[in-house]
Amino acid sequence: MSGLGGLNKSPDGVVLGMVQLQLPVVETPEQLAAQTRRIVDMVAKARRNLPTMDLVVFPEYALHGLSMDTNPAIMCRRDGPETAAFAKACRDNAIWGCFSIMELNPGGMPYNVGLIYDDRGEERLYYRKLHPWVPVEPWEPGDLGIPVIDGPNGCRLALIICHDGMFPEMARECAYKGAEIMLRTAGYTAPIRESWRFTNQANAFCNLMVTANVCMCGSDGTFDSMGEGMIVNFDGSIIAHATQGRPDEIITAEVRPDLVREARLGWGVENNLYQLGHRGYVAVKGGARDCPYTYMTDLAAGRYRLPYEDAVKVSDGTSCGFPAPTRLYGETRLEAAE
């Protein structure tokens, strides 16, 4: 299915390039500008590396590194110079690109944002990470849901970020909204290696959806990101997987959204995305269309509560050095409002 890593592209194929970018140190505006130039250079490398490539994907934290620094001097804007450089790189190299920024958010903590530009440099997707990796990450929880777009060669494309992929509801939402390819960008380090692998495969199989996943790679002198570029077919089989952890390697494969569509229409056994909403259709016409899941109805009603909720020991970021928040979700900080 991989077309020899995308070397042999079929008419219906989409060739993906997952960049295991070297983990940077970014503490100043000058370092931010230098890392921006480095990413732009990698876009050009991706195009030279594989003329058939449709989409080049950079991992979460590709621009800012893993410091979790919220210094406004190095936070980005959606229409800032860094994003303008990324858009221009896509246009100059006639390639779609997926990028990561930490976005300034007056009145709250910065957003962890993913952006996709098309081969003309037009923004096509803007996503705020819904599930920051608590208690480690200080980012504001996303508030815009999960967009699904028309991607290269007619595919339906979604993006989630890192810890998002540990919630099966995230991949299900992407698929429910029509995504045939789900990107997952991350900065994960080695302790997460096994859960990264099996969730990437489960997210694909449970939703008849291609998942394309990549982490930062190498060391910044403190953290060691694992790379683990991994492209998984809709049946859960691994198409391409980098297990060597080589920084700046671009993992490539061709995927076939047309076969995803064929499976979703033609499969009976294990067509789980359809069967979730049509339980037992062999026994009852059209299947049961109810919602028998208490956690879903409670969450929708704003009363989600675990049986052991009061005993949970970690419920803020103080264990990782962040002050306990006092602002409720949806409120702005007073200093920003004055």
- Quote the number of domains for the chain: 1
Burial of 335 (0-12, 13-18, 19+ CB in 10 A): exposed
Q: For residues 255 and 264, what is the distance between their CA atoms, to the nearest angstrom? A: 15
Q: Which tens digit of pLDDT belongs to each residue from 167-206?
A: 999 999 999 999 999 999 999 999 999 999 999 999 999 9
Active-site positions read 60, 129, 162
Structural domain includes residue 331: no
- 135: tokens are 């208690």
Q: For residues 158 and 116, what is the distance between their CA atoms, to the nearest angstrom? A: 10
Q: Categorize the per-residue pLDDT at 144 as very low, low, confident or very high, splitting at 50, 70 and 90.
A: very high
Nearest alpha carbon to residue 15 among 52, 59, 57: 52
CATH at residue 120 = 3.60.110.10
Structural domain includes residue 292: no
Q: For residues 175 and 182, what is the distance between their CA atoms, to the nearest angstrom? A: 8
Q: Which tens digit of pLDDT belongs to each residue from 27-45?
A: 999 999 999 999 999 999 9
Structural domain includes residue 281: no
- DSSP strands (E only) in 4-121: 14-19, 55-57, 96-103, 111-117
- 128: tokens are 């705020």
Structural domain includes residue 72: yes
Q: Categorize the per-residue pLDDT at 334 as very low, low, confident or very high, splitting at 50, 70 and 90.
A: low
Q: For residues 73 and 84, what is the distance between their CA atoms, to the nearest angstrom? A: 18
- 73: tokens are 């001097």
Q: For residues 50 and 16, what is the distance between their CA atoms, to the nearest angstrom? A: 10
Q: Which tens digit of pLDDT belongs to each residue from 101-143?
A: 999 999 999 999 999 999 999 999 999 999 999 999 999 999 9
Q: Give the CA radius of gyration of the chain.
A: 20
Structural domain includes residue 210: yes
Q: Which tens digit of pLDDT belongs to each residue from 231-279?
A: 999 999 999 999 888 999 999 999 999 999 999 999 999 999 999 999 9
Structural domain boundaries enclosing 78: 3-275
Q: pTM, whole model, 2 decimals?
A: 0.96
* DSSP string for 237-266: -EEEE--S--TT-EEEEEE-HHHHHHHHHH
- Token pair 């380090």 is at which residue? 189
**pLDDT at residue 333, rounded to an integer:** 76
3-state secondary structure of 84: helix
Structural domain includes residue 53: yes
Q: For residues 231 and 241, what is the distance between their CA atoms, to the nearest angstrom? A: 6
**pLDDT at residue 335, rounded to an integer:** 59
Average pLDDT, rounded, for the chain: 96
Q: Are 5 and 253 in contact (CB under 8 A)?
A: yes
Q: Which tens digit of pLDDT belongs to each residue from 54-65?
A: 999 999 999 999
Structural domain includes residue 203: yes
Q: For residues 253 and 21, what is the distance between their CA atoms, to the nearest angstrom? A: 17
Q: Categorize the per-residue pLDDT at 337 as very low, low, confident or very high, splitting at 50, 70 and 90.
A: very low
**pLDDT at residue 243, rounded to an integer:** 86
Structural domain includes residue 177: yes
